[in-house]
């Protein structure tokens, strides 16, 4: 947790929601050494600004014992990456490379999406994810031409903070927590048998996928990558050898992922629900008003606030 002296910087994207408690995803929390550097990186390179809604929340640490180690963060940890969705990944990557921001080569990963990966200045992983599969993109280009480039946007096309990607060892408990406790909607289930994992995508939204089959490949996945709000994605491995360490509370001088924060307009009712279902929660002593913290099955803190301070 932070106190009033901690420096917090935010960058934003879009979302919308529809659920009984009026939950909203508002923050993804990171402990970092230079929040201003990260703010400039995301605003200048991706156009994520304070005109949008879902935030990165950067908690400032003046010194760290190991600035190269990010706790809870990376491909083998409970927090893996954020996903930024856009129209043309190749074009976006070309612009980023011109700014000396390197990434791996874009690939059509199975029947999931056309992606590449890079890191921000602190080492947090970013996935660039194209709205359409690459073959769909090429077909549309040949048929309709390229969408016009917007010279006022840093990357030529709008970008959305599309996913917060977490990993879990128990998908049944994870689904119960996010669907039943937090009332999120499961939008997509994406099997990747070649690598023995399955992806699950949750959001607070009044939208439904075009196809009722949540495992649909032909339509739902490209629809999902075009959503203008942030989705929580979980990766679940099907074999015992790939165990993900549970979330670890950061020590005062450690850097890394700290959890997520949401708003609930009916916080008292939500607390009544937690008590009735015997779900543990604690009062938070953070800087936000009337806030509790609950833990998901992976021990990730979910800070639930009735009202947050203005993000600026």
Domain ranges of the chain: 8-70+249-307, 79-237
Cβ atoms of 293 and 304 closer than 8 Å: yes
Cβ atoms of 107 and 121 closer than 8 Å: no
How far apart are the C-alpha atoms of 284 and 281, rounded to whole Å? 9
- Domains 8-70+249-307 and 79-237 in one fold: yes
Q: What pLDDT is attached to residue 114?
A: 98
Q: What pLDDT is attached to residue 287?
A: 65
> How many helical (H) and strand (E) elements, i.e. helices and strands, does the chain have?
6, 16
Q: What is the pLDDT of residues 158-202, one digit of tens each?
A: 999 999 999 999 999 999 999 999 999 999 999 999 999 999 999
Q: What pLDDT is attached to residue 1?
A: 40
Which portions of the chain are predicted below pLDDT 50? Answer: 1-18, 50-51, 309, 311-312
Q: Which two tokens stand for residue 267?
A: 């916080």
How far apart are the C-alpha atoms of 170 and 25, rounded to whole Å? 22
Q: What pLDDT is attached to residue 7?
A: 43
CATH topology of domain 8-70+249-307: 2,3-Dihydroxybiphenyl 1,2-Dioxygenase; domain 1 (3.10.180)
Q: What pLDDT is attached to residue 307?
A: 63
Flag whether the pTM goes above 0.85.
Answer: yes
Q: What pLDDT is attached to residue 12?
A: 37
How far apart are the C-alpha atoms of 277 and 181, rounded to whole Å? 9
CATH number of 79-237: 3.10.180.10
SS (H, E, C) 115-166: EEEEECCCCCEEEEEECCCHHHHHHHHHHHCCCCCCCCCCCCCCCEEEEEEE
């Amino acid at each position: 947790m932070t106190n009033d002296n901690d420096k917090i910087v935010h960058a934003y994207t879009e979302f919308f929601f529809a659920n009984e408690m009026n939950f909203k995803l508002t923050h993804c929390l990171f402990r970092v050494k230079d929040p201003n550097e990260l703010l400039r990186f995301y605003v200048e390179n991706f156009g994520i600004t304070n005109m949008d809604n879902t935030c990165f929340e950067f908690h400032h640490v003046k010194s760290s014992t190991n600035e190269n180690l990010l706790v809870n963060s990376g491909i083998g940890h409970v927090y893996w990456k954020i996903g930024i969705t856009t129209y043309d990944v190749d074009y976006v990557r070309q612009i980023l490379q011109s700014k000396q921001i390197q990434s791996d080569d874009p690939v059509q990963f199975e029947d999931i999406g056309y992606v590449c990966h890079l890191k921000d200045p602190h080492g947090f992983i970013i996935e660039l994810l194209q709205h359409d599969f690459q073959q769909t993109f090429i077909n549309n280009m040949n048929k309709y031409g390229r969408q016009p480039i917007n010279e006022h946007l840093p990357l030529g096309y709008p970008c959305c903070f599309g996913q917060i990607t977490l990993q879990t060892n128990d998908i049944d408990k994870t689904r119960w927590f996010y669907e039943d406790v937090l009332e999120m909607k499961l939008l997509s289930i994406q099997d990747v048998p070649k690598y023995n994992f399955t992806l699950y995508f949750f959001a607070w939204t009044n939208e439904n996928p075009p196809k009722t089959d949540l495992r649909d490949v032909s339509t739902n996945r490209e629809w999902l990558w075009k959503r203008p709000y942030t989705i929580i994605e979980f990766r679940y491995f099907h074999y015992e050898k790939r165990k993900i360490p549970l979330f670890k509370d950061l020590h005062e001088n450690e850097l890394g992922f700290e959890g997520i924060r949401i708003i609930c307009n009916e916080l008292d009712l939500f607390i009544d629900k937690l008590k009735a279902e015997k779900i543990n929660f604690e009062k938070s002593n953070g800087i936000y008003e009337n806030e509790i913290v609950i833990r998901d099955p992976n021990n990730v803190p979910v800070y639930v606030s009735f009202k947050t301070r203005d993000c600026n």
